[in-house]
Chains A and B, each alone.
Chain A
Amino acid sequence: MLRLLSFSLFLATWWIAALFVGGAKLPSPPAVLNVIIAEATSGALFLHLGATLARVALAFVLAMSLGSAIGYLMGRVKLADRLGDPWLILLLNLPALVVIVLAYIWAGLTEAAAIAAIAINKLPTAIVTLREGTRALDRSLDEMATVFAMPRWRAFRHVVLPQLAPYIAASARSGLSLVWKIVLVAELLGRPNGVGFEIGVAFQLFDTPRLLAYSLTFAAVVLVIETLLVQPFEARATRWRPRAA
């Protein structure tokens, strides 16, 4: 109910602002909706959305799994932490644009280059979050698992993983938003389809309704993925915790 209210407030503000600024700079909600419907009926919307989503999914999974593994290793093994830390700092502070441009120069304007570049941008934050989570692991529970001679995999699954789950969820959430921001830049610079490509075209034509149509649809998709996938996972991972008042 509260969400609905805040959403209608947003729509109302937009509509009023559109009346003041004028349709060329800020089209009204119905104008944007018309473009969305037109693009959807022609199928172009779904094609571009699909292409972008596929890139997001691939890069996200790649960066999350690799980042979690490296982060866990760096949290557990001091040597790995020492060796990896300078690279981590470099990657963390490297602008996304540099990574993307270099990837396109070295690997050509290919799909692999785009996905790798997006994944590399997300990788360091996943590593940092998981390393922090690993450092915060409860040593006393590790000892318990050792004393009771739990096999490694069982101990990892039941003792370690539940402690890392909130960190994985946090990293997934922040990572998804990061990937979503970067994927458009990668598409704008070197892909012939996807939401980023469409926004590039709309920018060149100064076609604001089209620009908003694509951005808002994708924002909606992200919102749906957040509420249907990420939040339930988070809730499940933390169900044993007493609820916050």
Chain B
Amino acid sequence: MRLEVDISGKTFRSAAGETHEVLAPVSFALQSGEVGVLIGPSGCGKSTMLRIILGLDRDFHGTIARPPEARIGMVFQEPRLLPWRSVEQNVRLAAPDISEAKLSELFRILELEAHRSHFPGELSLGLARRVALARAFAVEPDLLVLDEPLASLDDALAGRLRDEIATLVASRPMMTLLVTHSLDDAVRLGDRLFFLSPQPARILAEVPISIPRGARGDAEIATIRAGLLART
């Protein structure tokens, strides 16, 4: 499977009637088993780009080619859980066919076992994010989209969750698109990094990481990180 993004532009008309250019021409492609990372400053149009790729926003110029049968798993910036359904129901509603064994395995990896019957309002942001992750992986996606999955978590928690995401992403060959403004996320989880400019967003540089994700220890990550910092 292959995702091809070819956006030639996107404008936005504000309430005051002014038009803003949100996206400049952007194009890239993603293969199964590959993790693409979109890195850019806050407000550069990353989320707009994601909405276009997901088919939520059709008001743009260009084309998005993804297999119509591709299942999508998505982790939104805010967890977007159903507050009136329990943790387990939230996951099952997105993935009704999931087996009990798979579900237990997911809840174990994401440390959610104790929270199955809790309602989202009773969870901390970190836990709610985990539920959103569980939901996205439960559908066994062909295309996984993560929109700032670690934003506003403290460093220790973000680090742990980052490792859990790495485990889950490695467990399944799928196209993964990660949006982040954190270089830490990118070097730990990504295969190809796309550096975006401030609004209107365009791709400034595409940087592949040659060391496979599984073989990256702390030392390798530090080297890659240093290399990236030297570029910018």
Interface residues of A (CB under 8 A from B): 140-141, 143-144, 146-150, 154, 158-159, 162, 240-242
- The residue on B at minimum CB distance from A140 is B80
Do A140 and B139 touch (CB < 8 A)? no
Q: Which of A148, A159, A242 contacts B139 (CB 8 A)?
A: A148
- The residue on B at minimum CB distance from A165 is B84
Do A158 and B56 touch (CB < 8 A)? no
Contacts of B72 in A (CB 8 A): 147-149
Contacts of A241 in B (CB 8 A): 83, 121
Contacts of B74 in A (CB 8 A): 144, 147-148
Q: Which 6 pairs of residues, A with B, have the shortest CB-CB distance?
A: A162-B84, A240-B84, A148-B94, A144-B80, A147-B74, A240-B119
Do B71 and A149 touch (CB < 8 A)? yes
- The residue on A at minimum CB distance from B96 is A154
Q: Which of A150, A154, A240 contacts B83 (CB 8 A)?
A: A240
Q: 1/0 contact trace for B66-92 toward A, CB 8 Å?
A: 000001111010101011110001000
Contacts of A140 in B (CB 8 A): 76, 78, 80
Do A141 and B76 touch (CB < 8 A)? no
Count of chain A to chain B residue pairs whose CB atoms are closer than 8 Å in the complex: 46
- The residue on B at minimum CB distance from A240 is B84
Question: Most chain-A Cβ atoms within 10 A of its Cβ — which of B78, B80, B96?
Answer: B80
Is B153's beta carbon under 8 Å from chain A? no
Bound-complex Cα distance A240 to B84 (A) = 5
Is B93's beta carbon under 8 Å from chain A? yes
Min distance, Cβ A188 to any Cβ of chain B, angstroms: 43
Is B54's beta carbon under 8 Å from chain A? yes
Do A147 and B121 touch (CB < 8 A)? no
Contacts of B84 in A (CB 8 A): 162, 240
Bound-complex Cα distance A154 to B96 (A) = 11
Q: Which of B76, B83, B89, B119 contacts A144 (CB 8 A)?
A: B76
Q: Is the interface of A mostly helix, strand, loop or mixed?
A: helix
Q: Which of A146, A147, A158 contacts B82 (CB 8 A)?
A: A158
Would you give 17 A-B contacts (Cβ < 8 Å), ordered by A?
Answer: A140-B76, A141-B82, A143-B80, A146-B56, A147-B54, A147-B56, A147-B72, A148-B72, A148-B74, A148-B135, A154-B93, A154-B96, A162-B82, A240-B84, A240-B119, A241-B83, A241-B121
Contacts of A162 in B (CB 8 A): 82, 84-85
- The residue on B at minimum CB distance from A143 is B56
Q: Which of A143, A146, A148, A158 contacts B85 (CB 8 A)?
A: A158
Min distance, Cβ B95 to any Cβ of chain A, angstroms: 8
Contacts of B73 in A (CB 8 A): 148
Given A141-B82, A144-B80, A242-B121, decide whether A150 and B94 contact each other with a Cβ distance below 8 A. yes
Q: Which of B51, B71, B93, B121 contacts A150 (CB 8 A)?
A: B93
- The residue on B at minimum CB distance from A157 is B93
Contacts of B119 in A (CB 8 A): 240
| CB contact list, B47-68 vs A, under 8 A | 51, 54-56
Bound-complex Cα distance A143 to B82 (A) = 12
Min distance, Cβ B84 to any Cβ of chain A, angstroms: 4
Bound-complex Cα distance A143 to B89 (A) = 18
- The residue on A at minimum CB distance from B73 is A148
Contacts of B82 in A (CB 8 A): 141, 158-159, 162
Bound-complex Cα distance A242 to B139 (A) = 30
- The residue on A at minimum CB distance from B72 is A147
Min distance, Cβ B136 to any Cβ of chain A, angstroms: 9
Contacts of A147 in B (CB 8 A): 54-56, 72, 74
Min distance, Cβ A242 to any Cβ of chain B, angstroms: 6
Bound-complex Cα distance A143 to B52 (A) = 12
Question: Most chain-B Cβ atoms within 10 A of its Cβ — which of A148, A159, A162?
Answer: A148
Bound-complex Cα distance A58 to B96 (A) = 37
Q: 1/0 contact trace for B83-118 toward A, CB 8 Å?
A: 111000100011010000000000000000000000
Bound-complex Cα distance A148 to B74 (A) = 8
Bound-complex Cα distance A149 to B80 (A) = 15
Bound-complex Cα distance A192 to B82 (A) = 51
| CB contact list, B116-171 vs A, under 8 A | 119, 121, 135, 139
- The residue on A at minimum CB distance from B71 is A149
